[in-house]
Amino acid sequence: MSEVTQIQTHWGEWIPLRDGVRLSADIVRPVTASPVPAIVVRTPYGKNTTAWVKTARFFAERGYAFVVVDVRGRGDSEGHFEPYFGEGIDGYDTVEWVAQQGFCTGKVGTLGGSYLARIQWLTALERPPHLSAMVVSVSPSDPFVEWPTGIPTPHHLAWLFMTSGRQMQRSEAVDWERVYQHLPLSTMDEAAGRPLAHWKQEFSHPSLDDYWKRICYQTRYEEIDLPILHISGWYDDEQVGTPRNFAGMTELGRTERARRSQKLIMGPWGHAVNTVQRLGEVDFGPQSLIDLQGVQLRWFDYFLKGEDNGIVHEPPVSLFVMGINKWRQEREWPLARATYTKYYLHSGGHANSSYGDGELTVSRPGQEPADAYVYDPERPVPFITDMVSAQIGGPDDYAAIERRDDVLVYTSAEMTEPLEVTGPIVVELYAASDATDTDFMAKLVDVWPTGFAQRITDGMVRARFRDGMERPELIEPGKVYLYEVDCWYTSHVFLPGHRLRVEIASSAFPKYDRNPNTGDALGSYTRVKRAVQQIHHQEQFPSALILPIIPGDN
């Protein structure tokens, strides 16, 4: 469509909510006597930023009213900020207010990433009549999906600190490395110098109870009747939600129209999608960056303006296959042609570190001795990340960390031909501990011929939550349990000369809090103890990495 060259901006417009609180909005729209569709963005990070000003101009010049709103209690808006709670109702009121304005046709879309994405889902559950389409990027999942630990992660405190008060706080002023070591965890906020009521509140609900269920959406896809464009990256630290949401909506969406009106884009990106072609030491090439804003425009043009631009007739899934660094279009997710193949853990009982004898093969184990290591919460295995960052981890080199004896390392033979792995990654781990509660971490690694040990993806399980976040139960010391470690998703080709590797450990700090191994109430403990862990790989305990392998010639 032709661009509208003249736009007008209305700063600080008030949007009244049903309880009398007013939200502050900046509205950028074309100069025209005719009504236009509207796009609503709600943010806790400040509506008047350079990025949002540029985005608003882009859409306004192309015939949209772009409405950027400070959420309740943040920026210029009234009320008290309580993350996620109440955002669905506020979203309903905001969408309906915009739809009733004279500048709007009554067609309203929503846009945004991370916090801004999850509150779109909460709004959709309220079913505002004029909400017509969504674009959700890097959407956080339901409570405990990303952190199945029962308590908030250390980085979550840094986020709460940053969003406390009405303006963005200077998180870099805090010595987070010191703060993350603080015990008990429930007073870590005080150690950071800023007591936070919400931090304390979350610690009082260490399982998936009714408190958390109020802000769950991933069990309610059948209530949502909307076309949704889902966007994330394989190295997004909240990646798991996006493919899961796409699959959930295509299978369970409220209507056939909704189920057929979903689109998924997964790039080689971190949380800030489509911004850089290089993450850490890995350069994914210039083709890794796309005209993502152009895709978003086409999505809204089709569903808000009714333009037959063909976007819904294209394959609904766009995947960037890492390793070969190419985009590929698919008809579904997960891929129906994937062959789920088990790579079994083997050793002579000494898989400790990359210098050990751990192996990965497709052959089932026989009567092999278990591997053992000592997990010491005072000396946790590091997870490579900044102490405070919008991006937790990436395609980082774990070669140095794999030298530790409390990291078990299982490695395949060199690839003789490309091996594509696209889909969900799971590790079935038969493990025992002399503790009553502990953690087990699994990481999939691509070992390059140079020795570079590239993290592909990872996951963890907390022993007391082995049967789900609603049913915590301590374990019996010495007993072997089967733990299913969800390592999320990837699309990656292991090239000839490269090797598959799995790391097993009991900590990944500070991505997750350190389990004290005591079985004490989560977050309130001050004492920790060492735990002796055993990983079994015998005929009756066949620990394995399960890979979705895609046949060649794709």
Q: What is the 3-state secondary structure (H, E, C) of 293-354?
A: HHHHHHHHHHHHHCCCCCHHHCCCEEEEEECCCEEEEECCCCCCCCEEEEEEEECCCCCECC
Question: How is residue 242 annotated by DSSP?
Answer: H
27 within 8 A of 65, measured Cβ to Cβ = yes
Question: How is residue 471 annotated by DSSP?
Answer: -
Q: Which among 121, 119, 128, 133 is positioned nearest to 45, based on CA atoms?
A: 119
Distance between CA atoms of 492 and 325, rounded to whole angstroms? 9
361 within 8 A of 344, measured Cβ to Cβ = yes
How many helical (H) and strand (E) elements, i.e. helices and strands, does the chain have?
11, 23
Paired tokens of 508: 């990944």
Q: Which among 142, 175, 140, 145 is positioned nearest to 157, based on CA atoms?
A: 175
Paired tokens of 68: 């950027």
Nearest 5°: CA angle at 523, between 521 and 528? 75
109 within 8 A of 302, measured Cβ to Cβ = no
Query: What are the start-end ranges of the H helices in 141-230?
Result: 154-162, 176-179, 188-191, 197-203, 210-213
Residues carrying an active site annotation: 114, 236, 271
